[in-house]
Amino acid sequence: MSLTSDQMELREEDIRAHYDAAVAMLDGFDHTPRIGTAASSEKPKERSAGIGTRRRFRSTTPGLVTRSTARPEGVQLIARIEASDGDDPLVSTGQAAVMNILRRALAISLTVGENYAEQTGLGDLKRDNLRGALDAGKKNDFAELLSAEALIALYTFANATSFLIAAHASEVTVEVGEVQEVLTDNAALALHGALWELDQDIAAHATDEPHLVATVAAYAEQLMEKAALRAQNAPRLAAFSSAAWRVEADDLTLRGFSPARAGKASKLTMTFKKPNEVVGNHIAKYQAVKLSKMLMAYDFDRRLNPFAELGGFIFTFMGDGKPGTGKTTLIQMMAGLVHGYCETAGYPFRFQNLSTDSIDSYQGKSGQNAKSFIQNILDPSAIGFGTIDDIDQLAGKRGDRQSSAGQLEITAVLMESFAGANTVVRGNCTFGMFSNYPENVDDALRQRAGARFLVDGPQTREDYIDILYLLMGKNHDIPLGDHDAYAAQEIKTAVAASFASHARPHEEGLLKVFDRVNDSVGELDTIAKMGAYLKGIQEADERFTGRAIKNITDAVKVRAMDFELPDEWMEEPDLFLFKGYDEKKGMISELRQPITVEMVVQEINRYADSEFRYADKSDEVAIANMVREYGRTEEAKRRHLEGKV
Q: What is residue 567's predicted lDDT score, i.e. its pLDDT? A: 85
Mean pLDDT of the residues in the chain? 83
Range 537-547 average pLDDT: 85
The yes-or-no verdict on residue 271 having pLDDT over 70 is no
- CB-count burial class (<10 Å; 0-12, 13-18, 19+) for 182: buried
317 neighbors 327 (Cβ within 8 angstroms): no
Helices (H), 435-566: 443-446, 461-472, 491-500, 508-521, 527-540, 546-560
130 or 87, which is more confident? 130
Residue 47 binned pLDDT confidence (cut-offs 50, 70, 90) = very low
Range 354-371 average pLDDT: 82
Distances 411 to 132, 370, 379 between C-alpha atoms, Å? 54, 9, 21
Domains (ranges, CATH) in the chain? 8-255 (no CATH), 275-622 (3.40.50.300)
Q: What is residue 499's predicted lDDT score, i.e. its pLDDT? A: 74
Q: What is residue 57's predicted lDDT score, i.e. its pLDDT? A: 37
158 or 619, which is more confident? 158
The yes-or-no verdict on residue 238 having pLDDT over 50 is yes
Residues 6+ apart with CB under 8 A from 473: none
Range 446-462 average pLDDT: 79
| One-letter amino acid of 366 | S
Q: Are strands 316-320 and 451-454 parallel, antiparallel or unpaired?
A: parallel
Nearest to 8 by CA among 149, 111, 101, 151: 111
The yes-or-no verdict on residue 112 having pLDDT over 90 is yes
Q: What is residue 281's predicted lDDT score, i.e. its pLDDT? A: 65
Crossing angle of helices 93-120 and 122-130, in 10° steps, is 90
Range 220-226 average pLDDT: 92
Give the span between the Cα atoms of 75 and 612, in whole angstroms: 62
CA 539 to chain centre: 36
244 neighbors 273 (Cβ within 8 angstroms): no
Max Cα–Cα distance, the chain, nearest Å: 97
Instruction: Dump pLDDT digits (tens) for 554-574.
Output: 888 877 776 778 888 988 989
The yes-or-no verdict on residue 322 having pLDDT over 90 is no
Residue 337: helix, strand or coil by DSSP?
helix
Q: Are strands 383-388 and 429-435 parallel, antiparallel or unpaired?
A: parallel
The yes-or-no verdict on residue 614 having pLDDT over 50 is yes
Within 10 A of 318 (CB to CB), how many other CB atoms are there?
26
Q: What is residue 48's predicted lDDT score, i.e. its pLDDT? A: 44
pTM: 0.60
Residue 371 binned pLDDT confidence (cut-offs 50, 70, 90) = confident
290 neighbors 564 (Cβ within 8 angstroms): yes
Q: What is residue 319's predicted lDDT score, i.e. its pLDDT? A: 85
Strand order across the 252-255 sheet: 8-9, 244-247, 252-255
> Which of these ranges, 100-104, 197-201, 420-424, has the smallest mean pLDDT?
420-424
The yes-or-no verdict on residue 375 having pLDDT over 70 is yes
Q: What is residue 61's predicted lDDT score, i.e. its pLDDT? A: 42
Instruction: Dump pLDDT digits (tens) for 387-433.
Output: 998 898 898 888 887 888 889 999 999 999 998 777 889 999 999 99
